[in-house]
Structure 1
Amino acid sequence: MNVLVTPRSFGKTDPSLFERLRAAGLTVTRNDTGSVLDAATMRRLLADCEGLIVGVDPVTADVLDAAPRLRAVAKYGVGVDNIDLEACAARGIAVSRTLGAPTQAVADYALALMLAVARKVTLIDRRCRSRDWSKITSVDLYGKTLGIIGLGAIGKAVAKRAQGFSMRILAHDIYWDDAYAAQNGIERADMDRICAEADVISLHTLLDDSTRHCINAARLASMKPTAILINTARGELVDNAALLDALREGRIYGAGLDVFEQEPPVDDAWYTLDNLVMGSHCSSSTRGATETMGHMAVDNLLRDLGLSQA
């Protein structure tokens, strides 16, 4: 029985993940390209597979059509916007997620980006390495207003960290947890108010048709000139072209992006910005998170393929 494993960090620090798959009688094909696979490669590699452990690579209807034997898709992560769930359901393909595994790692990284952007950490580091010891003035994070869009597990973990910085917290979520918000002093606000009032806006919502480009030109224009935008969720939540213009023109203070609409970005302008801290979609890439996600994904895949756990 053949399975394809695409996430680049899967098994990187814990080779026993591959041993578990092989011990269950599976023949494993790995993504050895060093990058996210495109649809054509996915179609080719999945042709004879019954199982898939996938990161952010495309699992579209077209890809699924090329995989007639596929029975189980184990998402190595939480977001399933890259998977055509309707097509999977129509085929009876089981889809699972590693809920909870990356929560703390992503929340840590979101806070790291907030600090790095606010205090211009990467710019100061670059200049120091060039023997430039001039002083650079930055902005405070302590006591500021944080707007969280998506108050799920990761959003709540970010809120907990922000409380240590005595930040006022505004948040938006379709499924509002009144009890949690009241207990933690979090104020409910819509996205327009968050963009207008918050000093830092951090995105932690799932991507769907209602959230695609939820940070658009109009909302960017409503932000304070000292505002910071953080995105560790999905690149498509932000109109990247509009954000690039805002950063180049200095209309907001800065951004910390672990995700982009196209990864890596092709426009050279992204790489010249001093008010941007870039990430390579690595917010969940800690040893603890990747190993936990890996074992959960293996558990889910073996269960859905009807194989004994190894």
Structure 2
Amino acid sequence: MSANRRVVITQNFFDEVSLDFLRANGCAAEIVKLSAGQTEATLDVAAIKDVVGDAAGWIVGHARITREVLEALPQLQVVSRRGVGYERVDIEAARDLGRVVTIAAGGNDATVADQVIGMMIAVGRRFREAHAQMQAGPWKILLGTDLYRRTVGIIGLGRIGRSLVQRLRGFEADILVATPNPDGDYAAQTGVRFVDLETIWRESDYISVHAPLTPATRHMINTDTIAKMKPGAIIINTARGGLVSDADLLAALSAGHLGGAGLDVFESESDPSMKSVTDALLALPNVVAAPHAGASTREGLDRTNMIAAECVVAVLDGKKPADACVVVDGR
């Protein structure tokens, strides 16, 4: 068992049950409140060093954890992400420096899948437009479109994608899936069709993106791919800003080619120069948006908090966290 059991938590909404779990397992756990105007994503190396200090465990969200950051924190044994993405962590550096990086696998897939369904219905049924029109008056019925028995294209079939398939089956949707690893048994069990991206673009009424952001997937939805989509198609992105070219999406929505979009992530999250594009998207009546909050329900955060805490305790006890949670183990 590690002598250093100090654990720093820089995420908001960390619940008392998960905090008590850490403390019951011998951790000196503390929730750090950042200064006004600060977020994890804005912290530089000096600020991170000041916040994390000699902690052995760090439960983190969106901070950029570079080689320089890890070298500045020699006591840090485990970086435990309360989430499932890890593109902000230098995995090679963590391995080289003997650190463990984990994610909260399985904690928020149901929560995000629920949000996708909500966005599909909200955009398709034009809830935002109807609400605004009723406020302005006089009341007028706006025709929307069903999710029931429509064709839904899913790009990526990880935990969230599979949770989405479960929900869409209740709508009797024709579900198309593009993934590098098609599974014939899964298709037989669920009725999904594994197809290529060209089929997704051509046939889908709704398209939901659930791929990791890599050089190969950046701007996979762009002017060219949007042009192949059905008129009136609806795009949902709750995965990562950058999978969709926000500028190209804005142009297509403004031109009336697409029916709308549900967006929980934006390129401006990592590129402030894109803020004007984000603002223009938010102003459109057929865009339903959230501030990267797809995993942020009380229940979803409670689950991911506990998984993140369990990973920290396992590492500090000299044990291995659950396989699905381990991104890299450099010990």
- Aligned twin of 2:21: 20
8 Å contact from structure 1 (residues 6, 37) kept in 2: no
User: 1:227-246 maps to which residues of 2 (within 5 A)?
Assistant: 227-246=233-252
Shift, 1:184, TM fit: 1.3
Shift, 1:62, TM fit: 3.2
Shift, 1:31, TM fit: 4.0
- Aligned twin of 1:5: 9
Q: Distance in 1 between matches of 2:300 and 2:139?
A: 37
8 Å contact from structure 2 (residues 67, 90) kept in 1: yes
Q: Distance in 2 between matches of 1:273 and 1:48?
A: 47
Shift, 1:22, TM fit: 4.2
1:192 corresponds to 2:198: yes
Match of 2:287 among 257, 262, 276: 276
User: 1:112-131 maps to which residues of 2 (within 5 A)?
Assistant: 112-131=118-137
2:242 is paired with a residue whose SS is helix
TM-score (norm 2): 0.85
Q: Distance in 2 between matches of 1:296 and 1:234?
A: 22
Q: Distance in 2 between matches of 1:186 and 1:208?
A: 25
- Paired AA for residue 295 in structure 1: M
User: 1:102-141 maps to which residues of 2 (within 5 A)?
Assistant: 102-141=108-147
Shift, 1:131, TM fit: 4.0
2:19 is paired with a residue whose SS is helix
User: Where does structure 1 lack aligned partners over 5 or more consecutive residues?
Assistant: none
Shift, 1:178, TM fit: 1.4
Q: Distance in 2 between matches of 1:198 and 1:296?
A: 35
Root mean square deviation of aligned Cα: 2.1
Q: Distance in 1 between matches of 2:76 and 2:107?
A: 25
* Partner deviation per Cα, 1:94-123 (whole Å, 9 max, x = no partner): 111211111111111100000001011122
2:85 is paired with a residue whose SS is coil
- Count of aligned residue pairs for this structure pair: 305
Q: Distance in 1 between matches of 2:132 and 2:284?
A: 13
8 Å contact from structure 2 (residues 61, 81) kept in 1: yes
- Paired AA for residue 30 in structure 2: V
1:156 corresponds to 2:165: no
Shift, 1:193, TM fit: 1.8
TM-score (norm 1): 0.91
Shift, 1:18, TM fit: 2.7
- Paired AA for residue 7 in structure 2: V
* Partner deviation per Cα, 1:137-187 (whole Å, 9 max, x = no partner): 222221111000011221111112111112111101112221001221111
1:147 is paired with a residue whose SS is strand
2:268 is paired with a residue whose SS is coil
Which deviates further from its counterpart, 180-189 or 209-218? Answer: 209-218
- Aligned twin of 1:208: 214
Give identity over the alignment, percent: 37
Q: Distance in 2 between matches of 1:68 and 1:62?
A: 11
Q: Distance in 2 between matches of 1:219 and 1:63?
A: 38
8 Å contact from structure 2 (residues 152, 175) kept in 1: yes
Q: Distance in 2 between matches of 1:52 and 1:192?
A: 42
8 Å contact from structure 1 (residues 77, 97) kept in 2: yes
Q: Distance in 1 between matches of 2:29 and 2:299?
A: 26
User: Aligned in 2, Cα 1:127/1:182: closer, same or farther, shift over 3 Å?
Assistant: same
1:303 is paired with a residue whose SS is helix
Shift, 1:237, TM fit: 1.3
Match of 2:41 among 27, 34, 37: 37
Q: Distance in 2 between matches of 1:63 and 1:18?
A: 25
Q: Distance in 2 between matches of 1:152 and 1:257?
A: 19
Q: Distance in 2 between matches of 1:136 and 1:215?
A: 28
8 Å contact from structure 1 (residues 46, 66) kept in 2: no
Q: Distance in 2 between matches of 1:50 and 1:193?
A: 48
- Paired AA for residue 21 in structure 1: L
8 Å contact from structure 1 (residues 21, 28) kept in 2: no
8 Å contact from structure 1 (residues 22, 28) kept in 2: no
8 Å contact from structure 2 (residues 9, 29) kept in 1: no
1:302 corresponds to 2:303: no
Q: Distance in 1 between matches of 2:244 and 2:57?
A: 32
2:63 is paired with a residue whose SS is coil
Shift, 1:35, TM fit: 4.0
User: Where does structure 2 lack aligned partners over 5 or more consecutive residues?
Assistant: 320-331
Which deviates further from its counterpart, 107-116 or 205-214? Answer: 205-214
